[in-house]
Structure 1
Amino acid sequence: MIIIFCEVGVILRVLVTGENSYIGKMFAKWVYSFPDTLEITFISLRNDDWVKQDFSVFDVVFHVAAIVHEKEKTKLRTLYFRINKELPILIAKKAKNAGVKQFIFMSTLSVYGLDGLIGGQNVINLDTLCHPKSFYGRSKLEAEIELKKISDDTFKLVIIRAPMVYGPDSPGNYKRLRKFILKSPVFPAIDNSRSMIYIDNLSEFIRLIIINQESGLFIPQNQEFINVVEMASLISMSNHKKIAFSKVLAHVIYLIGNHSGLLRRVFGNLTVEKELSVFEKYKYSNFSLKQSINTCETNVVNRPM
């Protein structure tokens, strides 16, 4: 448990579901460095002990627990929907019955069913419909739909459709990209744009959402779109490593990249219109790409040998 005290005197108690969640742990770390009155408690969902937890002592439930596999298998469909849909619904109902005021659900851009596109543009705007293609995206979208039915004026629902999240020791694509950059002498000179969000920018956004007891659908992101070559350059410089950028490799990826899910995730174009991520009351995207990569590489624990 992390308890933050300050002079204001009002403590909002936040229950974070998923004690091993990267986002949950980094959010708690971020909150700890601020003079806001938030009290963070983690709970594990690996067994049914959470059912015995008294939710009435909490003001907010922040649900981050989920199952994510990039190589989905048909036999895992039931697991996806049990963890990503049924479980958050059960937790939300328990929270509402206990008098919790706000439920924050971490969703994903995967609900749109769009992948990064190499040599073309995929842009999410206000008119973009949800057509999820993966079990992950479908289960998250179905959870969103059911959670909206539970919400009302006394039980505020926040849905956060986050783009790729990166930060120190973050799992997923950033970790893979970093490993490749630090081992390879060359990198494709691909000109692309991605919507991403640095973990501290996301954590600040969530902190503001809680303090102001907001509700609704949100898509936060960094102020700038991310270019993978710029990111690669910053990572290599932070580690005092030289890397060459190859137009030949870029040409190969332009030819074959759209046939590979991994290459599309790293080198493809996928952005969210910036207007969807600007909230006049909240200044949350405080770290630029350069600042965030410097922090990531300074604080990274699992450096490659």
Structure 2
Amino acid sequence: MEGDMEGDMESNGKNNIGRRKVLVIGKSGFIGSSLAQWLGEEGYEVFLVSGRREEWKSFDMAGIDTVVYTAGLAHTKEKKGSEELFLKANVWQAVESAKKAKLSGVPQYIYISSMNVYGSAGKRIGADTPVKPDSLYGRSKRQGEQRILELESEQLAVAVIRPPVVSGAGCKGSIRLLAKASKYIPFFPDYPNQRSMIDIINLCSFISCLIDSNARGIYHPQNKEYISTYQLLSLMAHSRGRTIRPVSFLNPLIAWMIPRVKLLRKIFGDDCYDRAMSEYNNCSYWIRGYRESIHDMVSNVRE
């Protein structure tokens, strides 16, 4: 299955009436715990189990409508010997849980992958952009996608989601470090780059669309608007009652250096999906904007 396959949001005939039962794998993770809480509040019958402790192995999946695999290894420094850890969390455990779901007659399996399957930051991603991971994390996520998509059948719909950076209260990773840094930065270049992000509530809303329609395919959800690095830092500072002054005189130099300096490419390069990749006629999933999302995130960051 090609990596640029468009997902089919149409129902495959499954009866969507009634309270849907969803098993979320990834109890300790930001996405898993947030998704379980949100779905529960929306009226789904939710079961949340640990991926790390492999609680899904003893869970009876009979009668479950959808399994969502949010577990995995992400915010861990890549070093020699860590490849096996990434493969175990992002590939083998996911594949084994998908096999169990299939044998148990579960109609749908959703795998949370990552934008990282396209490689490092510094590019605009379109429908024709090749999948080319360049990190252990990205490669393990891509391998997880491929292995699980091989299990798809008429009876088992497989959906793969490749979200960009996820924000909101309790998020992890480099965005939390940026939130801490916003407390001290007095000024910053207002370089007009475009970055894709998605608020955790918007992601949960999108996942519910896939569940309700028993969808299959590969999806690229994101917030309704792009955001620049300066705008992101500015909103973080604003949530602290601070202001980061924009400076523009460095922008021509930054534009010249982005293709030449990896660090600047990571900070100021574009890192976004084309809008068309994230718009689905049967799913309006944009509930929150950046301001509320980033305020919640900053309020949750410990100094």
Q: TM-score range by the shorter chain?
A: 0.7 to 0.9
Structure 1 counterpart of 2:25:
17
Q: Count residues in correspondence.
A: 287
| 205-214 vs 240-249, greater mean Cα deviation | 240-249
Structure 2 counterpart of 1:162:
163
Residue 190 of structure 1 deviates from its aligned partner by 2.5
Q: Hey, what's the Cα distance between the residues in 2 that align with 1:146 and 1:71?
A: 24
Residue 239 of structure 1 deviates from its aligned partner by 1.6
Structure 1 counterpart of 2:217:
216
Give TM-score scaled by structure 1 length.
0.86
Is 2:137 the partner of 1:136?
yes
Match of 1:116 among 121, 126, 144: 121
Match of 1:97 among 103, 110, 124: 103
Structure with the higher helix share, 1 or 2: 1
Does the Cα contact within 8 Å between 1:132 and 1:138 map onto a contact in 2?
Answer: yes
Residue 286 of structure 1 deviates from its aligned partner by 2.5
Match of 2:92 among 71, 79, 86: 86
Q: For residue 234 of structure 1, what is the amino acid of its counterpart?
A: L
Residue 44 of structure 1 deviates from its aligned partner by 1.2
Structure 1 counterpart of 2:288:
287
Could you give the per-residue CA deviations for residues 107-138 of structure 1, whole angstroms, max 9, x where no partner exists?
Answer: 0111112x222xxxx11111111111111111
Q: For residue 130 of structure 1, what is the amino acid of its counterpart?
A: V
| 272-281 vs 206-215, greater mean Cα deviation | 206-215
SS at match of 1:55: coil
Residue 227 of structure 1 deviates from its aligned partner by 1.2
Q: For residue 82 of structure 1, what is the amino acid of its counterpart?
A: K
| 174-183 vs 184-193, greater mean Cα deviation | 184-193
Residue 303 of structure 1 deviates from its aligned partner by 4.2
Structure 2 counterpart of 1:55:
61
Match runs of 1:1-305 below 5 Å:
10-34=18-42, 37-69=43-75, 71-113=77-119, 115-117=120-122, 122-247=123-248, 259-261=261-263, 264-297=265-298, 300-304=299-303
Identity of aligned residues (%): 31
Q: Hey, what's the Cα distance between the residues in 1 that align with 2:172 and 2:54?
A: 26
Residue 52 of structure 1 deviates from its aligned partner by 1.9
Does the Cα contact within 8 Å between 1:80 and 1:139 map onto a contact in 2?
Answer: yes
- Structure 2 residue runs of 5 or longer lacking an equivalent are 1-15
Does the Cα contact within 8 Å between 2:198 and 2:223 map onto a contact in 1?
Answer: yes
Q: CA 1:173/1:48 → structure 2, altered by over 3 Å: closer, same or farther?
A: closer
Q: For residue 244 of structure 2, what is the amino acid of its counterpart?
A: I
SS at match of 2:154: coil
Structure 1 counterpart of 2:13:
none
Q: Hey, what's the Cα distance between the residues in 2 that align with 1:302 and 1:125?
A: 33
**RMSD in angstroms over aligned alpha carbons?**
2.3
Does the Cα contact within 8 Å between 2:86 and 2:136 map onto a contact in 1?
Answer: yes
Q: Hey, what's the Cα distance between the residues in 1 that align with 2:100 and 2:157?
A: 14
Residue 249 of structure 1 deviates from its aligned partner by 6.6
- Structure 1 residue runs of 5 or longer lacking an equivalent are 1-7
| 87-96 vs 55-64, greater mean Cα deviation | 55-64
Q: CA 1:210/1:116 → structure 2, altered by over 3 Å: closer, same or farther?
A: same
Does the Cα contact within 8 Å between 2:36 and 2:48 map onto a contact in 1?
Answer: no
Could you give the per-residue CA deviations for residues 201-245 of structure 1, whole angstroms, max 9, x where no partner exists?
Answer: 111001111112111110001111111212222222222113223
Q: For residue 151 of structure 2, what is the amino acid of its counterpart?
A: I
Q: For residue 28 of structure 1, what is the amino acid of its counterpart?
A: A
Q: CA 1:173/1:69 → structure 2, altered by over 3 Å: closer, same or farther?
A: closer
